Amino acid sequence: MTEAVNEAPAEQANKALWKRLAPLVLVGLALAGVFIFDLDDFLSFEMLKNHRTDALDWYQQNRILSTASFVALYALAVALSVPGAVWLSLAAGFLMGTWAGTIMVVFAATLGALGIFLIARYALADFFHDKTGSAGRKMEAGFQENALSYLLVLRLVPLFPFWLVNLVPALLGVPARTFVIGTFFGIIPGTAVFCSIGNGLGAVIDRGDMPDLNTVFQPEILGPLLALAVLSLVPVIYKKMTKNKGTPHGE
């Protein structure tokens, strides 16, 4: 009788753990399915090159349906962290033009990023806090204090993978509203660059060339992105300066 009573809390804890991990497991299984069935091959330059005429015709004839399908596909690709979403950005620019494509991509990418953000927070936040202890709480407090500024920097400057920037804020307790704002506005400049490349994709293919995806790292593009990142850090710098001024000497 005593053993049964002692086992009950452990069983409940295991059930609760599996319940929390279930969404993340489903994401992992879906991602594994993408690679097992070679679905990632659809997100490639060759696929875009070989089917550009069909895609353009379908978009022209079914604008609402094709746009809705594109947003859903892009959001799913981001939520599953499938590599190759950049080709969807180029496809958006090719089909919709630079600015309309940018709007759709930013909306879809933000939606997909929010999905995996919420799943990661639900499944892993408590585990992260337990494992990192006081060090994790200090890091969380520091990030949360200037969450929007840090997020804008991470989104503006493509130094880290998009999927990683989706997960870290979730583990550090960044509010979902702040995450959405930082993601939405932070990815606009880079997205506009890729959609602009996509807008001229037809001419690139006709020449038999490959689109230059390193364009974003060219000085005339990366320079303004770095400048925007620095501007995003101004509130952090100002806050630290005013805090230091208010600190009595000797403390």
Say how far residue 114 (Cα) sits from the centre of its chain.
Answer: 8
One-letter amino acid for residue 231 of the chain: L
pLDDT of amino acid 20: 75
Provide the pLDDT confidence category of residue 48 given band limits of 50, 70 and 90.
Answer: confident
pLDDT of amino acid 16: 66
Provide the pLDDT confidence category of residue 85 given band limits of 50, 70 and 90.
Answer: confident
Contacts for 175 with CB less than 8 Å, ≥ 6 apart: 147
pLDDT of amino acid 180: 96
- For the segment 62-87, the average pLDDT, to the nearest whole number, is 92
One-letter amino acid for residue 107 of the chain: F
Q: Is the dihedral of CA 204, 205, 206, 208 positive or negative?
A: positive
- For the segment 131-148, the average pLDDT, to the nearest whole number, is 72
d(CA 120, CA 99): 31
pLDDT of amino acid 22: 80
Position 249 pLDDT exceeds 70? no
Contact 232, 189 (CB under 8 A): no
What would the two tokens of residue 123 be? 């499944």
Provide the pLDDT confidence category of residue 23 given band limits of 50, 70 and 90.
Answer: confident
Least confident of 37-51, 79-93, 120-134: 120-134
